[in-house]
Structure 1
Amino acid sequence: MSLHLSTVILPHLRWHEGGRAAWTRAEQLGFHAAYTYDHLSWRSFRDGPWFGAVPTLTAAAAATERIRLGTLVTSPNFRHPVTLAKELISLDDVSGGRVTLGIGAGGTGFDATALGQEPWTPRERADRFAEFVTLLDRLLTEDAVSYEGDHYSAHEARNIPGCVQRPRLPFAVAATGPRGLKLAARYGQAWVTTGDPKLYENGTPEQSLRALREQVDRLSDACEAVGRDAASVDKVLLTGFTPDRARPLDSLDAFLDFAGHHQALGFTEIVLHWPIPNTDFAADEKIFEHIAMEAPSHLS
């Protein structure tokens, strides 16, 4: 089973001051996909430049030819399925069918209150997420949709001509809980995890691997419950949030060791953060590029 290597490029650079160069370089390096975060602002980047995900991806689509593009991840925190569907269909068209939608329930960060709302409880986030994914699936596959739910509505929403990718662009569903995994099993062409957040500070790499193995097993159970082969769901690890978060970019050998352990768990794609100096994502750019160019031949 081959393992794809991808990157995530945070939208913190002006397009003509390094932004465009990063996306085109990602394609030159041979990455399978290049993603970006879909937030209004994020953690330590809150007081600096931060650009919108969909316009950034549209510009990236025009500047590249082959690399897949997407979000890791979009959430209901400040999105509505009707308007998001229209943007995604447009982006899929501009890119020639190269878009993957990473989608998750969202959290309690800045996005959760930016529109003036009170933060949702975990249960409300899960309820909204389930309705969000279900409605978005319809909007991206049907020409006209009317819907009245507990949290979202659509009245004769038109989405012609639909996605370039058929029946719609792929969903990569981020989830670790039972309700989210059920959504991944039913609607996801891929499943995304960052590992177990409880292990981030004081966990060990061995504990992280065990936790990830348990997550993969729970996804398999969710797939079995809906009559789906778990092997048909790609399994994506977004790195940078496990106890050994820095180690994969120490050297090519360190990355191959890291990737091999996770490939053995069933992961089909590993996503590395594009290096950003003086942040949690700082890394040696030469080593990063060496990994991008050399690792795929060892992972096939």
Structure 2
Amino acid sequence: MGLRLSTVILPVDRWHEGGRSKWQWAEELGFQAAYTYDHLSWRSFRDGPWFGALPTLTAAAAATGRLRLGTLVTSPNFRHPVTLAKDLISLDDISNGRITLGIGAGGTGFDATALGQDPWTPRGRASRFGEFVLLLDRLLTEDSVSHEGDYYSAHEARNIPGCVQRPRLPFAVAATGPRGLRLAARHGQAWVTTGDPKLYETGTPEQSVQAIRGQVDRLADACAEIGRDVTELDKILLTGFTPDRGRPLESVDAFVDFAGRHQELGFTEIVIHWPIPDSDFAADQGVFEKIATEAAAQLR
């Protein structure tokens, strides 16, 4: 099976002023999937337009017909499993089973304090994430769920008729630490990484590949612990956060070389950012579109 190519479209455009057309053009270009970030605001975009992920995906589902859609990623920072499950079941229905939930533990950005709480410690985030995933799994597969946990509760939460995709929509679990990798191994249909953040500023592309190889190996170990074949999981690389930065999008050849090196590590899907001028994701739109068509054909 070849390497799939997908894109992530940040929710920075008004729907009727370019938002809709990007999602439709992503489908026309032949991307496997188009994702968006699930944040309340994010980094350098904090003081500019930024729209909600789930309404955006709902509109994208209505505007497209083949493209898979999803979040990269949703986190517990401002989500509760009970309400999220209801929205996801609705979104899976509207899209006729085209939704993937990218899900991670979250970080210390703006989302971490937007509801007035203090930022959670890394250990606290990991603990919440573990309970979040387990409860969400139940909510998406059972008609009625009651749960009293350390962080989340549900009382006879109804989710009828459930997902179009059975037994539920797929989870793409973002993780690099041992607890997260165990969650990916047990509950994920895919695993997501952005590489090793410690290498972003001063590392080399070669060091990044070695670090990601180590992540893949640890994922395999986590799968082996529960008797699961690691090849059952799709492996997704969200680009833009390795030392290569924007260089893979400078030409078709540069991207094919970058993608090929990661395909050798076992990755089944590469996700590239839709270009945004005057940002960290600035890129030549024409080259981006050639990558979507020409590079994707070479990698299949």
Whether these two folds match at TM > 0.5 is: yes
Where in structure 2 are the equivalents of 1:156-195 lying within 5 Å? 156-195=156-195
Provide the rounded CA distance (Å) in 2 between the counterparts of 1:130 and 1:83: 17
Where in structure 2 are the equivalents of 1:44-63 lying within 5 Å? 44-63=44-63
1:37 maps to what in 2? 37
Q: Provide TM-score, normalisation by structure 2.
A: 1.00
Where in structure 2 are the equivalents of 1:6-21 lying within 5 Å? 6-21=6-21
1:237 maps to what in 2? 237
Aligned-residue offset at 1:215: 0.2
Provide the rounded CA distance (Å) in 1 between the counterparts of 2:35 and 2:97: 15
Q: Provide TM-score, normalisation by structure 1.
A: 1.00
Secondary structure of the structure 1 residue equivalent to 2:44: helix
Amino acid at match of 2:61: A
**5+ residue gaps in structure 1?**
none
TM superposition outliers: structure 1 runs of 4+ over 2 Å: none
1:135 maps to what in 2? 135
2:267 maps to what in 1? 267
Identity of aligned residues (%): 80
Aligned-residue offset at 1:247: 1.2
Aligned-residue offset at 1:181: 0.0
1:221 maps to what in 2? 221
1:90 maps to what in 2? 90
Deviation track 1:97-116 (CA, whole Å, cap 9, x = no partner) reads 00000000000000000000
Provide the rounded CA distance (Å) in 2 between the counterparts of 1:68 and 1:245: 25
Amino acid at match of 1:55: P
Provide the rounded CA distance (Å) in 2 between the counterparts of 1:52 and 1:297: 33
1:68 maps to what in 2? 68
Question: Number of matched residues?
Answer: 300
Deviation track 1:54-105 (CA, whole Å, cap 9, x = no partner) reads 0000000000000000000000000000000000000000000000000000
Provide the rounded CA distance (Å) in 2 between the counterparts of 1:10 and 1:204: 27
Provide the rounded CA distance (Å) in 2 between the counterparts of 1:255 and 1:177: 28
Deviation track 1:227-255 (CA, whole Å, cap 9, x = no partner) reads 10000000000000000021110100000
Deviation track 1:134-192 (CA, whole Å, cap 9, x = no partner) reads 00000000000000000000000000000000000000000000000000000000000
Q: CA RMSD in A?
A: 0.4
Secondary structure of the structure 2 residue equivalent to 1:270: strand
2:110 maps to what in 1? 110
Aligned-residue offset at 1:297: 1.6
Provide the rounded CA distance (Å) in 1 between the counterparts of 2:33 and 2:226: 29
Amino acid at match of 2:237: L
Provide the rounded CA distance (Å) in 2 between the counterparts of 1:277 and 1:263: 29
Aligned-residue offset at 1:270: 0.2
